[in-house]
Amino acid sequence: MRYFIGNWKMFGVPKSISILDKINKFVKSDKKFNKKYKVVITPPHTLVQSYAKFFLNKKILIGAQNCFYKDNFGANTGAISPLMIKSIGAQYIIVGHSDNRSEGDTDVMLKAKVESSLNNKLKVVFCIGENKEHKIKNKTFEVLENQIQSTLNEKLNLKNIIVAYEPIWSIGTGQIPEPDDLLKTTIFIKKVLKKIFKKQKSPIVLYGGSVDSKNISQFKKLNEIDGFLIGGASKSDQNFIDIIKNYYR
């Protein structure tokens, strides 16, 4: 099974649902769908409820991009908890994206977000990644292991956690890791997860970072990668569809 998860970031208004409608029609007609891949789209919070309602019992799954680190309700102006996100129909939640880490998300906050999201029956897409300085100094593995161990633990249910490796130096640059490097990194991430979760289900690890319809073919032979977290290209129905098509051609 391969995951194609679109992160819309700060994009979209109600009429943008036409983009998802076209993607939904494509996957509905594709014989590979259900057997080979899943599609999840995470629009901004303003659209989660209407999109989730529209695509209920259809082919596209809807998630949210982030949540507050405290559960349930509270006196936190502008905050949205996992309970609230789940109540409006979201099935997935992105936690730990580099955008949010750079805006102040700490390891303690991320740990609370993951635990609260899982407690509210959301599937967590947990993002990890190194910056350019880490890469240059060959600290990629050290950084990734620290990010994983500071947030995830064996008491959590791994079947509801997807780890997305998104090298910060790659996001939005058009640059992607060399295939051998990406393979080694993915294998390392899975090794760390298996050590933490021991006998639990085999970990799901995605790649995210400047994925588009042109470079997607470079990932075909990397069987350790279980799918992709897609940013800018997910805001265009044709680009997103072409990513799926070109991956399976």
How far is residue 120's CA from residue 159's CA, in Å, rounded to a whole number? 15
Element (H, E) at 123: strand 123-128
Our answer to whether residue 97 is catalytic in this structure is yes
Active-site position among 97, 115, 130, 134: 97
Say what the alpha-carbon torsion angle 235, 241, 247, 249 is, to the nearest 10 degrees: -160
Q: Where are the alpha helices (DSSP H) in the chain?
A: 17-29, 45-54, 82-87, 98-102, 107-119, 132-136, 140-149, 179-197, 237-248
DSSP 32-78: TBTTTEEEEEE--HHHHHHHHHHTTTSSEEEEES---SS-S--S-TT
How far is residue 97's CA from residue 109's CA, in Å, rounded to a whole number? 13
Active-site position among 133, 166, 178, 224: 166
Pair of tokens at residue 52:
């989730």
How far is residue 191's CA from residue 141's CA, in Å, rounded to a whole number? 11
How far is residue 60's CA from residue 216's CA, in Å, rounded to a whole number? 21
Our answer to whether residue 133 is catalytic in this structure is no
Which positions are annotated as active-site residues? Answer: 97, 166
